[in-house]
Structure 1
Amino acid sequence: MKILHVDASAKRERSNSRALSRFFLERLREQGVEFEVDYLDVSVDTPAHVTEAFAIATYTPEHERTEAMKATLAPSDELCRRLIEADAFVFAMPMYNWSIPSAFKAYIDNIIRTNLTYVNTADGRIEGVLTRQKALFVTSRGADLRAGSPYASMDALTPALRAAFGFIGVNAPVFVDAQPLQFSDQAARTEALERARAELTAVAADWASSFNAGMANAAAISTNRDDVVA
C-alpha cells in the first residue's frame, strides 16, 4: 500500500496539522497496516502557479505539444503520476483566512489535468480517474467552524477541497478538523486536539479494516484462479 502524504503548513515543526497527520500514520501502523509513504511538503517544494504558457500547453492535444510545452507541463505531469500511483491520500493543512493555503491551491491547480486525472467521455461527461483511492484531509482551524458556531458559514476550505478532488474522482473524502486552536482558551484548544486524535484513531481503524478485507479478497481470488488452473 502506498500513501501519498502532503503537508502544507508554513509553520513546519510547530504545525498542528503536521503533527496530526503523523499521528494518523502512526495509528495506522499500529493497526498492522504495511505501507510506504510518498511524502511531499508543498510549503517547501511549492508547485508553480498557473501561467499563460501552462494554460495553453495543458489544453493543447498531447500529440501537438511542442518540446517547450512538454517541459512546462513536466512538473505537473510528475505530480499527477504520484497521485495516480498512490493507494490513499493524506493531505494535511491549516486554514488560512477561511480557505486553502496558497501553496496547496497551487498544488490543486497542477493536478487537475485533462486526460491525466480526469477525462472527457464520448457522451460529453467528465469523469475523474482517482476513484479507487481513499482520501483523508487533516485540517487545523483557528476558529470553531463547526455547525452551530457563529463562524460556520465562513468555512470556504471544506467545500473547495470537496469540489476540487471530487472533480478528479475522490467522492468520499474523510475530514478531521482540529478546531478551535487559536481564538479560544487553552482548555478548548486541548479539547480540540484530543477530539481530532480520537477521530483519527477511528479513521485508522476503519482504513485498516478495509485494507485487510481487500487483502483477504485478493487472496481468495488468487486461490480460486489457482484452483481453476489446476
Structure 2
Amino acid sequence: MKILHIDASPRYSRSHTRKLTQDFITLWQEKDPAATVIYRDLGKALPSFINENWIAAAFTATNQRTPEQQQQLNESDSLVEELMTADMLVMGVPMYNFGVPASVKAWIDQIVRVGRTFLFEPEDAQPYKPLLTDKPTIIMVATGDSGYEPDGPYASLNQVEPYLRTVLPFIGINQLHFVYAGNDEFGGERLAQSLVQAELQIQHLVDGPLLR
C-alpha cells in the first residue's frame, strides 16, 4: 500500500487537519506496517498557478511540444505521477471562505489535465473519460463553526465537499470519505468534542471494510 498524504493548511502546530491526517496515517501504519507514505505539503510549497503558457503546452500533442512547453508541464507531470502511483489518498483540507484553500485549487489545476488524467473525445455522447484508477480517498475538513456536513444546517454554504465530489470523480477517483472537525472559532469544549468525533470517524475508517 502506497499512501499519498497531502496537507494544505498554512498552520502547523495549530492545524486540526494536519493532526487528523497524521493520526489516520499513524493508525493505518499500525495495521499495515509495510505501507509507505509519500508526503506533500501544499501549505509550505504552493503548486504553481497555471497560466497561458501552461495551457498552450497542455493542449499541444506530446510529440509536438517544444522543450520550453515541456518544461512548463514538468511540475504537473510530477504531481500526476505521484497521484497515479498512490493506492490511497489522504488529504487535509481546511475550509477557507466556504471553499478549498488556494493551494488545493492550484494542485487540482495541475493534476486535472487532458490526455493525462482525463480524455476528451468530442465525437462521443460522453466526451469526458477519466483515466485514473480509483482509490480510497480520505479528506479531513476543518471549519470555523459546525454544521457544514451534508445534513447540517450550514450544508448549503459548504463548497468544499461538493467541489471535491465533482472534480475528483471527473478524473476517476470516486471512493471519497469525508471527516469533519468544526468549531475552531469557538474553541473550548465545543472544539474538543468535535475533534473527539473526528477521531472516532478516523478509527472507524481504519477498522472498517470500506478501505480494504
TM-score (norm 2): 0.92
Task: Tell me the SS of whatever aligns to 2:138.
Answer: strand
Within the alignment, does 1:84 sit opposite 2:84 as a pair? yes
Q: Does the 8 Å contact 1:7/1:40 carry over to 2?
A: yes
Structure 1 or 2, whichever has the larger Rg, is 1
Change in CA separation of 1:64 and 1:207 when aligned onto 2, cut-off 3 Å: farther
Matches within 5 A, 1:28-47: 28-47=28-47
Aligned equivalent of 2:184: 181
1:146 CA displacement? 3.1
- Measured against aligned partners, the alpha-carbon deviations of 1:60-101 in whole angstroms (never above 9, x if no partner) come to 111111111000001111100000011110011211111000
Q: 2:207 aligns with which of 187, 205, 208?
A: 205
Q: 1:131 aligns with which of 126, 130, 133?
A: 133
Aligned equivalent of 1:94: 94
Aligned equivalent of 1:59: 59
- Measured against aligned partners, the alpha-carbon deviations of 1:200-228 in whole angstroms (never above 9, x if no partner) come to 01111136971xxxxxxxxxxxxxxxxxx
> Which stretch of structure 1 is more off in the superposition, 106-115 or 24-33?
24-33
Gaps of 5+ in 2: none
- Measured against aligned partners, the alpha-carbon deviations of 1:150-181 in whole angstroms (never above 9, x if no partner) come to 42210011111111111110112111111122
Give distance in 1, aligned partners of 2:174 and 2:152: 26
Aligned equivalent of 1:225: none
Change in CA separation of 1:96 and 1:136 when aligned onto 2, cut-off 3 Å: same
Gaps of 5+ in 1: 211-230
1:133 CA displacement? 1.5
Matches within 5 A, 1:148-227: 149-182=152-185, 184=186, 186-206=188-208, 210=212
Q: Does the 8 Å contact 1:131/1:171 carry over to 2?
A: no
Change in CA separation of 1:23 and 1:59 when aligned onto 2, cut-off 3 Å: same
Give distance in 2, aligned partners of 1:174 and 1:147: 12
Considering only aligned residues, what root-mean-square deviation do their CA atoms show, in Å?
1.8
Task: Tell me the SS of whatever aligns to 1:25.
Answer: helix
Matches within 5 A, 1:3-14: 3-14=3-14
Q: Does the 8 Å contact 1:57/1:65 carry over to 2?
A: yes
Percent of residue pairs bearing the same amino acid type? 30
1:149 CA displacement? 4.4
Give distance in 1, aligned partners of 2:21 and 2:11: 14
Give distance in 2, aligned partners of 1:204 and 1:149: 24
Give distance in 2, aligned partners of 1:53 and 1:188: 48
Change in CA separation of 1:147 and 1:165 when aligned onto 2, cut-off 3 Å: closer
Give distance in 2, aligned partners of 1:26 and 1:189: 22
1:16 CA displacement? 0.5
